[in-house]
Amino acid sequence: MTQKLFSVFRYTAIVALVASLFIMSGCDEDEGPQVFNGTLLDYLKSNEFKQSTTGSADNALDSLVKYVSLYPDLAGLLSGSAEFTVFAPSNTAFKNLLLTPGFPPKISDISPTIVGGVLSYHFVEGKKLKADLTAGTKLNTKFTDPAAPGAAQIIEINANGTLKTGSTNQDLDIVVADKLANNGVVHIVESVLIAPSTGSSLTPILGTMAGTILLGKDFTFLAQIIAKADAGFTENPSAGALKIASHLARPTSGTFTGATFFAPPNAVITAAAGSAGVTTYINNLTADAARSLLLRHYVIGKYVVTAAAGSTAFSTLLPAGSTTGTGSISANVNLGGKSVTVSISTASTQNPFGVAVSTTPTIANSFAPIVSKDLPHTNGVVQVIGGILQ
């Protein structure tokens, strides 16, 4: 009997020892973060980061996946063999960005070049775990600012472990850290990160006419002409000599109650360029010619097609009782030595479009129709026109 009890005890002890070894082995495997067996792109697309699975927009990355997928070069980095660190804005982060006063309401409204640049700022070469993000660390991102291609666009780590970027909030939190894939690591962040150079130029123009023109996907060619006009231009505010971008961003103050900008979209500039192409068309413009062209589209005073408080309706400029006559509006300050007079016409034999504008009303077919009217901004009104004022 004793021998049998001893045998049972010995057998039980062996089983317990083996079981404990398995348990200890399992503990060893659980030490440290788990690695997703796939690329960063595969990982971001996995159920772990889908809002439908997580139930939380704060930890979901559906929006990031959607936007990155539009840029093959960025998607290629995430699916390649080189290691990267991705600071991944959550769905909540993108939602909050679009709720920023003056910011375009949809990502699809923004110039694709600008969106791609913003996304690339979230990519850092090499695998940087949370433990590597020590105070004072500066991380070079993959973003290159076209206006300053040689300038490093960094993310800096604050003493409390938060991120310092070009955002107005200088203490951005990492919500979830150290989500590892085969080719790098993901840190979910509470906000869309804005590069320092972008932040310094973006904040002053939000809500202004400059914001719509310089950020808008429909005005990327117009933005290039503005850059051409402003390159090397020396401003003299006391004389009213401002860069075009400054005119469009100028805040209302004192006697300046706002302005009107007649904006030709990409389709119009493409048509004007003809077979030569837009790049050749813009390259052939001198800085002075580009500036003169743009000033012909800028008028001091808010003018609208439909009357509104603080604005002047175009129709009131026409002769009483007339639907085919012309009126005019003019700049009342010196715009760097240029004066602007824009004539207005309603529907007629020469102008079947409704309200249209021209700077050369005596020339046949010179009127450009207003195709999208009365776009309000903090400092004026944008009228999108179907032509270029000569």
Written as six digits, the tokens of 137 are 């660390």
Does the structure show a pLDDT above 90 at 12?
Answer: no
Specify whether the CB–CB gap between 106 and 112 falls below 8 A. no
Q: Which helix (H) or strand (E) holds 370?
A: strand 368-377
Region at 385 (left for phi over 0; alpha for psi -120 to 50; beta for the rest): beta
Q: What is the pLDDT of residues 238-268, one digit of tens each?
A: 877 899 999 999 999 988 888 889 999 999 9
Strand-pair partners of 156: 138, 164
Same fold yes or no, 35-199 and 207-385: yes
Written as six digits, the tokens of 36 are 């997703």
Task: Please report the pLDDT score of residue 188 as a whole number.
Answer: 97
Is the pLDDT higher at 325 or at 45? 45
- Domain spans of the chain? 35-199, 207-385
Q: Which CATH number fits domain 35-199: 2.30.180.10, 3.40.50.970, 2.40.240.10, 3.30.750.80?
A: 2.30.180.10
Tell me the CATH class for 207-385.
mainly beta
Helix ranges (H only) for 130-259 are 196-202, 209-215, 220-230, 244-249
Written as six digits, the tokens of 1 are 């009997």
Task: Please report the pLDDT score of residue 185 as a whole number.
Answer: 98
Does the structure show a pLDDT above 90 at 382?
Answer: yes
Q: What is the pLDDT of residues 127-150, one digit of tens each?
A: 999 999 999 999 999 999 887 788
Is the pLDDT higher at 25 or at 265? 265
Written as six digits, the tokens of 198 are 């972008």
**Residue given tokens 């020590």 in the structure block:** 134
Written as six digits, the tokens of 377 are 């901004």
Q: What is the pLDDT of residues 205-222, one digit of tens each?
A: 999 999 999 999 999 999
Q: Which helix (H) or strand (E) holds 188?
A: strand 184-189
Task: Please state, as a whole number, how many other Cβ atoms lie within 10 Å of the Cβ of residue 40.
Answer: 28
| pTM listed for this prediction | 0.78
Task: Please report the pLDDT score of residue 350 as a whole number.
Answer: 53
Q: Name the band, by pLDDT with cuts 50, 70 and 90, for residue 338.
A: low
Rounded CA separation 253/378 (Å): 11
Average of per-residue pLDDT values in the chain: 83
